[in-house]
Amino acid sequence: MKSFLPLLGKEVRALFYSPIAYIIIGVFLFLMGYSFTLTLFVNKFATLIHIFFQSAGLLFLLVPIITMRLFAEERKAGTLELLLTAPVRESHVVLAKYLASMAVVLAMIALTGAYAIVLGMFGSPDWGPIYSGYIGLALLASTLVSLGLTISALTSNQVVAAIVTIGISFLLWTIDSLAAMVPDALERILISLSLLAHFTPFATGALYTSDLGFFVSSTLLALFLAMRALARR
C-alpha cells in the first residue's frame, strides 16, 4: 500500500498536467452543451435521457484517447521497465492507472451535472432517471476505461491501442443487434454481452442488479487481464 499512493499521484498528475485531458473534457462539454440546449429548446422536456445516450456515444471515442497512452507510452519510452523493476506490485500499477483515468472521465461526466441543475432551476424533472443515468454512465465508463487499459498493456503503439479499443467497444455496444441472426443458444450470450442492453435501463430510470453486476464484473475481468498482460514478460 505504501507504494500505491505515490503511483496514483503520479498517474493523476500525468493526466491532469497534460493538455489532452482538458481538451477532451472541453470538447465533450461543448458537444453535450450544444446538444442539451438544442434539444431543450426544441422539445421543452425536462429530461436528460438523450444526453446520457449521446454521452455514452462520445465516451466510446474519448475514453480510448485517455487510455491509449497509459501503458503504451510507458512501454515505448522505457519507463515501464523503470516502474516494474521498482518494488511495486503489478496490481498497484494497474489500479493506479485505472483510478487516475476514472478521475478524468468522472470529472468530465460530473460537469454535465450543470444541465441537471439548469433543469431543476427552470423545470420539474423526474430525478430518478437522472440519478440512475449518471450511475449508468459511470459504470459504462468504468468498463471502457478498464478495457482500454488492457489493450494499452498489450502494445507499445498508442494509435493501435486507441483503434483496437474503439473497435472492441463498438462491437460490444452493438453486439445484441447480431442476436437475431444466430442460433438461440448464442442469442442469449450475445445479448448478455451487449453494453447497450445493460446501459439502456440505467438511462431510462430502471436499476437492475444484473446490469450493475455486468459492469462491475466486466471491469474486474478487464483489470485482471491487464495485470496478466503486464506479467507476461
**In angstroms, what is the minimal distance from the CB of 67 to another protein?**
18
Distances in Å between the Cα of 71 and the Cα atoms of 11, 68, 78, 119, 143 are 11, 7, 10, 40, 17
- Residue whose CB is less far from another protein, 68 or 119: 68
The dihedral over CA atoms of 67, 62, 166, 196, expressed in degrees to the nearest 10, equals 120
- Residue whose CB is less far from another protein, 75 or 198: 75
Candidates 23, 38, 82, 107: give the one binding another protein (CB under 8 A).
82
Task: Decide if 191 contacts 179 (C-beta within 8 A).
Answer: yes
Candidates 77, 107, 207, 220: give the one binding another protein (CB under 8 A).
77
**In angstroms, what is the minimal distance from the CB of 28 to another protein?**
24
Residue 107 found at the interface with another protein (CB under 8 A): no
Candidates 6, 113, 128, 213: give the one binding another protein (CB under 8 A).
6
**In angstroms, what is the minimal distance from the CB of 31 to another protein?**
28
**In angstroms, what is the minimal distance from the CB of 71 to another protein?**
14
Task: Decide if 124 contacts 39 (C-beta within 8 A).
Answer: no
10 Å Cβ neighbour count for 121?
Answer: 7
Q: Which residue in the block uniquely carries the three cell numbers 503511483?
A: 7
Residue 19 found at the interface with another protein (CB under 8 A): no
Candidates 20, 89, 106, 196: give the one binding another protein (CB under 8 A).
89
Q: What is the maximum alpha-carbon separation in the chain?
A: 58
Candidates 26, 34, 43, 81: give the one binding another protein (CB under 8 A).
81
Candidates 26, 78, 120, 123: give the one binding another protein (CB under 8 A).
78
Residue 7 found at the interface with another protein (CB under 8 A): yes
Binding mask 145-184 for another protein (x = CB under 8 A): ----------------------------------------
Size of the site for another protein (CB under 8 A): 22
Residue 50 found at the interface with another protein (CB under 8 A): no
Residues that bind another protein (CB under 8 A): 2-3, 5-7, 9-10, 14, 17-18, 77-79, 81-82, 84-89, 233
